[in-house]
């Protein structure tokens, strides 16, 4: 498989893209590289992808009720598929509850 960075570099519209545009394009590429031919992920695949690709954000969340609720939802009704919109909502939800978010907010932006 082609590395994400190489796929990202091949998208001409992003040559002068902002960091945020590249971040969202990366999320879309990671998602697309993992989906079935219909562009969807099983809940089990989604759980594995989040654990593999979003580990820094979910670290330390394992015992928190909201995290458990989200993971339980991925374990239930596993025949249901996740589309890109649901995947992004999942990432945003995990980001908002992450301990890492506070660390990001505390990053100094001036010298």
Mode of pairing for the β-strands spanning 81-82 and 41-42: antiparallel
Alpha-helix runs per DSSP H in 10-83: 19-34, 43-53, 55-58, 65-75
Question: What whole-number distance in Å separates Cα of residue 44 and Cα of residue 52?
Answer: 12
> Helix, strand, or coil here: 81?
strand
Q: How much of the chain exceeds pLDDT 70, in percent? A: 97
pLDDT tens, residue by residue, 76-91: 766 789 999 999 999 9
The DSSP letter of residue 37 is: T
Output the pTM of the full model.
0.86
For the chain, which residues make up each domain, given as ranges?
1-33, 38-109
């Amino acid at each position: 498989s082609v590395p994400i960075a190489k796929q990202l570099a091949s998208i001409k519209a992003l040559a002068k893209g902002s960091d945020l545009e590249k971040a969202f394009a990366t999320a879309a590429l990671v998602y697309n590289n993992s989906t079935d031919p219909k562009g969807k992920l099983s809940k089990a695949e989604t759980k594995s992808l989040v654990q593999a690709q979003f580990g820094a954000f979910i670290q330390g969340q394992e015992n928190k009720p909201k995290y458990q609720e989200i993971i339980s939802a991925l374990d239930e009704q596993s025949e249901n598929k996740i589309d890109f919109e649901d995947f992004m909502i999942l990432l945003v939800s995990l980001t908002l509850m992450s301990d890492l978010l506070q660390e990001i907010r505390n990053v100094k932006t001036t010298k």
